[in-house]
Structure 1
């Protein structure tokens, strides 16, 4: 089962360098790629292929084999062979302009070679012959003068990141090996393998363990194998951690050897020095270590990870070692901003299910952390109960600490009330909390500002929302929290949509998506949230098919997330279906969204209203389709809603969309504030919206507003 990879062949063809080096673990298709590449070389190119099978020959043995392939005498010396190769293509040519090019292919070069053989290769690579090129595949970078080649532009190196299957290639391969598999199964396979070709083919067939035994474990020493079995049970590792876990066994040196040997240990983005074993490999190796030795390793690991500042991984190891009290004590060291990265939210909620409630109620910090996670997860009643337990620690001995604790409580409680739609008490709590919050409480300040900005947007106070979000953005940047900045920018995009500044909203989304995408194969909920907003923007622009694809991609990023924002994808996909006249599909998508919210134990206040409003919009779309079929003169793309809205209601709606307050609209149209509110209520009913922002977005999507 071969998946064509023309982009890699094109890269090798385009980037002609003295040395083209393919260095990656076993199973990344290095040999297949080289064979396909040399097959397409012109007839004037001579290819000499040496399959070394990972075995290190002596210098004289390699020279004898290479000389034989070139048609030279078996007793040719290393120096004489270099002289011959230096002249290749100059003396032997068909015409004066048609030089014979020579490609030497060394497939599966061993990781460790004799020093004299490495010196000979360095001499070979120093030959100034433009008609000679080396193509090398290996599992460990050779001990050659690669930095010099890189400086002179004579090295092209492809590693596992470039050689891994791209998503489209992965889909093509899975279609061959498991054509009946569903999306969830495919996504799990992608997460486990990260595009590793051999893993994609062997993991479903339960043959990966035997493959690793032959291709990896047999090539390692006893100490390396022992360490690798332990690393299979750790979510990350570093040389320093291994030095401490395997004391007296030169743990750092052994770990460095595993990394150099391409033992499927890949660097973790933005965490210098830390590596993660490929999940599929870890899963296959875990049975090699169990029982008491594994328990001892976990206990040492949780202690060392905590000391090294990897608190979340320390918590995980403590729980795996059945030490919930230790896990709870480590959780107190987590920064409150840690949970802001939504990829951690599901992990924290899982811990909460595995630790006894009394342990999580042992300190104000733990209670506040749990309450915050519950709010972000949409479990509002549980969050409120959790916040009430802070009362058992009040009053604190020092007045300042007492005020700070109350202020942090108010900030979170205000956010909770805003989610429930109680805007006035939410605003009051947030405003009251701000004066008592300190620089250490920057996350609570950020939470208040963003909550107040959302309240301002719902009330049409767009200038105030802009001011608050600019403050939030500056605060996130000063704290160096890129995840917080992304979250603030999601609110900025919402504000830009309300202001009708679609091109700027699209630019902000594009910038944030580019930051989050990268080469990381882990699903990223923040990216999912941005993709949902991008889908909404595309839908507003009438690009339904593109919106649907973007929304589906977003759902892949949040497959394990239990949070209210995930509902947005189902609502928007339902609208995509409704716009196409697919009423049954639209309703099923709403059922799916509701089921996911209920499975996650999210409070009904977070999803019942939006689902009901979307059902009303879908019904209106269905009626609009029927009306389109009756009067042929009706403008394409404009539904019947505009006929239902009176001219005065349309005027009110346009001014509200411009960001005017109720009072400003009244002054502009010379009507009372109560009349404006009455018009706004009628508009919401007719457009199937429960809030002003929903009405404005619906009107833009339906063509009522430009």
Structure 2
């Protein structure tokens, strides 16, 4: 029942609004503006129907009479209902016919709220309601709220524009509304409390209210248990107490299933009976909703289902076993595998893995399930085929458990020799592909490259997933070496193969490599457009690609941050972090790092270092080797220390970490942080300048700048150019500093890399103060206009030629086609009367065509 209070400016009572109530105009305005005579809210318990109606009631026009009738979900006879409606409207009638006659003649503008209409099927009562709605005057507006949609002639009302309807999902709190609720609390919550509450509650009003209870003085685990207990008690009173025992048990079974349909219900509960129970539960508003917008599949609302799943359920194994049998018959291997694990039928689950491929790792939470099965059963039972070895190895590599992955790979020897030479070569090639990825992720570039190349020679066309992984590994290594043209060719070959096989998940994985390539070329906006497109494709055609979507979100967060879009970046980092945590992806590290950068941008270094500490703790908890995260964490920490004016700490950290990347036993940077080593190197130069320990720092930075320019790494070139400006300013060379800054600002505008410029501006604001005006001195005027036969675009092309760029690099940097570059080069040679590129550059410099 809803708590009621007297309305101060209107007769009667209305629901008492919570002290934390927020106005939800996105819901009330359409309701208030609708010309419909009937406004229907149909949603499960705790969806905020009464509060929404009360908010609308308080905004009724002054000329409108308002009446509130609290029905409390109870069953009543048609006669009792007629009397209640008449009494609410102040009518004295003796029969239904008199009531209908009065309503037909009604002239005073009136709103009648029927709150919490009958919750169980009542055909006679619904028929009376239908007559009341149909025959009443347009002056009387009906506001009807309940958990069950009454059996009325809704199509007729809809066709006459007399019906406005809202359902459960529309009533859920949005993230913004949850944030408004948090702002009203007398105590503060953690920085990402809004997102956590939304993820846990799905916006369900009752769950949000409980989550916002004061948790001072209680541990997180106690608070979670307390909230779960409250919500379970709420469900017991509001849902289970109103259901027959067999329906309550059926609902509990359905809550433990990821999805269900008519066929599965018939299999579980009996032919005829199962379908009837499913439809009855739907009609009663028992939190049953469409699954992924499917016309056939249903699910129990996820936050409610999770509450039930967290409780012990002794009968669960038998139900999961029966569900597994049905999914096997339907050849739904994913769902059958999950149900087999829930039924503790591990041998059945292992047998179902024969239907899994590498792409299944990027679906749902399969990595977590595979690792759990591996830990429970051990190698003797699980590693019974080469295919299973590859699957478990890939899961271990994905989670960053490299030592266990190495031991797993060794089990490939169990399956040698193969019956024929071709099969033996394929087995060895598969071993090389796995070993190559292990070495690649551990930072050993040369042996990993050798394994990849040799595996590609012997892998047959049927082993295209392994070929794709080898090509992806080689692409990442080319990017790490700064060989962008090689990386692009490898990535293109891999993408063509993935598309030819219709492997959308692989395509998404390869597009991440492509996005890193575009980022290095200084085109973050193109990389973002690419990832946005593949994200939409995955959402439409590859449901539950949660791990891959998590990685894409993290990369999009980095791109948004580079372009100065902090709010957008924070959203991507939050969602990517959540997805990677659920799937045990080692890339979760970059979610924490991204949030740390956002906090540092806002000047909150305490929060930034908390994110770094959380990242390190997570890596250690999941036993991920420190080679994956140590260098990256120290780089970001040093970056923050420099911004705080603590160069000594940064110098010590950078000196220590660079030892791992230099020398005969040097390792490559982690594949997700391609430019880590050059960024560590230039950051060390800056710290040495601050500490007055630098030896020819500008020469060192210019040497790095030249390498980046030769490789076409425009993003790195921009950052290095800003570093040259910073170091020159610190060395007391303002003219050189401002010249370097001007060049860097042009690169920033061209590539839209706002983050690096903003960081320098915060660190050295004096560099950006305009110098005092000086007397003008005559300057040599470059050849232009009639003296310069080259167009502005041709000068740009020639400038890039002078910097040592290839035609393909020029095309990428200027965002034009390769054919257009060649056309410009041919015209330049013709206008300057030369035959070679080098001659064109020399003549243009001699004539002063370069400003």
TM-score by length of 2: 0.66
> How much does 1:506 deviate?
3.1
Which residue, out of 700, 708, 712, partners 1:653? 708
- 2:37 and 2:142 in contact (8 A); partners too: yes
- 1:139 and 1:261 in contact (8 A); partners too: yes
**Alignment RMSD:** 4.2
Helix, strand or coil for the counterpart of 2:47? coil
Q: Deviations over 1:311-369 (max 9, x none)?
A: 44444444444433233223333343111236432333233222232111112222111
Helix, strand or coil for the counterpart of 1:453? helix
> Is the aligned partner of 1:195 residue 2:189?
no
Q: 1:379–1:625: structure 2 CA closer, same or farther, 3 Å change rule?
A: closer
Larger Rg: 2
> Is the aligned partner of 1:63 residue 2:82?
yes
C-alpha separation in 2, matches of 1:135 and 1:439: 65
> How much does 1:382 deviate?
1.9
- What's the counterpart of residue 436 of structure 2? 414
Helix, strand or coil for the counterpart of 1:109? coil
- 1:341 and 1:484 in contact (8 A); partners too: no
Which residue, out of 163, 174, 179, partners 2:171? 163
> How much does 1:447 deviate?
2.4
> How much does 1:393 deviate?
1.1
> Is the aligned partner of 1:240 residue 2:269?
no
> How much does 1:499 deviate?
1.6
More moved, 398-407 vs 211-220 = 398-407
Q: Deviations over 1:562-616 (max 9, x none)?
A: 3221222333444556667776665554443233212112233322332344344
> Is the aligned partner of 1:219 residue 2:242?
yes
- 1:461 and 1:660 in contact (8 A); partners too: no
Pairing 1:439-454 to 2, within 5 Å after superposition: 441-454=463-476
> Is the aligned partner of 1:376 residue 2:398?
yes
- What's the counterpart of residue 357 of structure 1? 379
C-alpha separation in 2, matches of 1:345 and 1:167: 29
C-alpha separation in 2, matches of 1:378 and 1:602: 5
Q: 1:298–1:538: structure 2 CA closer, same or farther, 3 Å change rule?
A: closer
> Is the aligned partner of 1:327 residue 2:368?
no
- 2:580 and 2:586 in contact (8 A); partners too: no
Pairing 1:483-562 to 2, within 5 Å after superposition: 483-511=505-533, 524-542=546-564, 547=569, 550-562=572-584
More moved, 503-512 vs 281-290 = 281-290
Mind listing any 5+ residue stretches in structure 1 that lack a counterpart? 93-99, 627-638, 662-695
- 1:216 and 1:263 in contact (8 A); partners too: yes
> Is the aligned partner of 1:606 residue 2:633?
no
Q: Deviations over 1:142-180 (max 9, x none)?
A: 223334555665543322211122223335556778946
> How much does 1:370 deviate?
0.2
TM-score by length of 1: 0.78
Q: Deviations over 1:57-86 (max 9, x none)?
A: 3444433433343344413544x6556545
Q: 1:577–1:30: structure 2 CA closer, same or farther, 3 Å change rule?
A: closer
Relative contact order, higher structure (CA 8 A, sep 6+): 1
More moved, 371-380 vs 178-187 = 178-187
Q: 1:659–1:275: structure 2 CA closer, same or farther, 3 Å change rule?
A: same
Question: What is the number of residues matched between the two proteins?
Answer: 646
C-alpha separation in 2, matches of 1:587 and 1:189: 24
More moved, 509-518 vs 19-28 = 509-518
> Is the aligned partner of 1:345 residue 2:374?
no
> How much does 1:26 deviate?
0.6
Mind listing any 5+ residue stretches in structure 2 that lack a counterpart? 1-17, 211-225, 649-685, 690-696, 717-752, 762-802, 804-812, 814-851
- What's the counterpart of residue 47 of structure 1? 66
- What's the counterpart of residue 654 of structure 2? none
Which residue, out of 273, 278, 297, partners 2:319? 297
Helix, strand or coil for the counterpart of 1:329? helix
Helix, strand or coil for the counterpart of 1:417? helix
- What's the counterpart of residue 394 of structure 1? 416
> Is the aligned partner of 1:133 residue 2:141?
yes
- What's the counterpart of residue 50 of structure 2? 31
Which residue, out of 230, 233, 253, partners 1:207? 230
Helix, strand or coil for the counterpart of 1:560? helix
Q: 1:208–1:547: structure 2 CA closer, same or farther, 3 Å change rule?
A: closer
- What's the counterpart of residue 683 of structure 1? none
- What's the counterpart of residue 32 of structure 2? 13
C-alpha separation in 2, matches of 1:548 and 1:657: 29
> How much does 1:416 deviate?
2.7
- What's the counterpart of residue 336 of structure 1? 358
C-alpha separation in 1, matches of 2:41 and 2:466: 49
Q: 1:600–1:285: structure 2 CA closer, same or farther, 3 Å change rule?
A: closer
C-alpha separation in 2, matches of 1:576 and 1:625: 21
Helix, strand or coil for the counterpart of 1:332? helix
> How much does 1:374 deviate?
1.0
Q: Deviations over 1:178-219 (max 9, x none)?
A: 946657987665444322222344561723333223211232
- What's the counterpart of residue 3 of structure 1? 21
Helix, strand or coil for the counterpart of 1:455? helix
C-alpha separation in 1, matches of 2:458 and 2:475: 20
More moved, 457-466 vs 599-608 = 457-466
> How much does 1:131 deviate?
4.4
C-alpha separation in 1, matches of 2:516 and 2:408: 30
- 2:357 and 2:391 in contact (8 A); partners too: no
Q: 1:552–1:247: structure 2 CA closer, same or farther, 3 Å change rule?
A: closer
Q: 1:113–1:361: structure 2 CA closer, same or farther, 3 Å change rule?
A: closer
- 2:232 and 2:307 in contact (8 A); partners too: yes
